[in-house]
C-alpha cells in the first residue's frame, strides 16, 4: 500500500514537473534545470522520508510490544520504562501526592466537625 502510494506520488510529480517545464518560458542557462533531474531529486527525498517513517514506526512498534510484555507481567503501567521516566507522568504523580495530602488534611479537619454535631 505504501509502495503504491509512493510510486503514485512520484509519477504525479514527474508528470507535473514535465507539464510545468513545457508550459513555462525557456529558462536561461543560469536557471536551467532538467525536469527529470528535479523529479529524481524529489523521488529520492520521498524515498528517504519513507525510510525514516518506517524506522520510526519500527521503533514505536518495538516500544509498544515491550510495554505490553511488561504490563502483562506486572499489571502496572508505572513499571513500563517509557511511562516511569516520562516527565509529564512524574508531574501528574507529584500533583496527585499533593492533592491526596490536602484531602487527608481536609478530611481530618472536617470529619471532626461532623462527628461533634
* Residue-range domain boundaries for the chain: 2-76, 86-117
The rounded mean pLDDT for the chain is 74
pLDDT of residue 38: 80
C-alpha cell recorded at residue 61: 512498534
Q: Classify residue 85 by its DSSP letter.
A: T
Residue 6 has pLDDT above 80, yes or no: no
- pTM of the full predicted structure? 0.39
C-alpha cell recorded at residue 105: 488534611
pLDDT of residue 116: 58
Rounded distance, CA 98 to CA 104, Å?
A: 10
Amino acid at each position: 500500500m505504501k509502495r503504491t502510494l509512493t510510486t503514485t506520488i512520484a509519477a504525479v510529480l514527474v508528470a507535473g514537473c514535465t507539464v510545468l517545464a513545457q508550459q513555462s518560458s525557456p529558462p536561461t542557462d543560469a536557471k536551467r534545470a532538467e525536469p527529470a533531474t528535479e523529479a529524481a531529486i524529489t523521488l529520492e527525498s520521498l524515498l528517504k522520508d519513507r525510510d525514516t517513517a518506517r524506522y520510526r514506526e519500527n521503533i514505536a512498534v518495538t516500544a509498544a510490544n515491550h510495554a505490553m510484555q511488561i504490563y502483562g507481567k506486572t499489571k502496572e503501567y508505572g513499571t513500563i520504562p517509557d511511562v516511569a521516566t516520562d516527565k509529564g507522568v512524574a508531574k501528574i504523580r507529584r500533583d496527585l501526592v499533593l492533592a491526596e495530602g490536602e484531602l487527608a488534611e481536609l478530611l481530618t479537619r472536617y470529619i471532626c466537625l461532623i462527628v461533634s454535631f
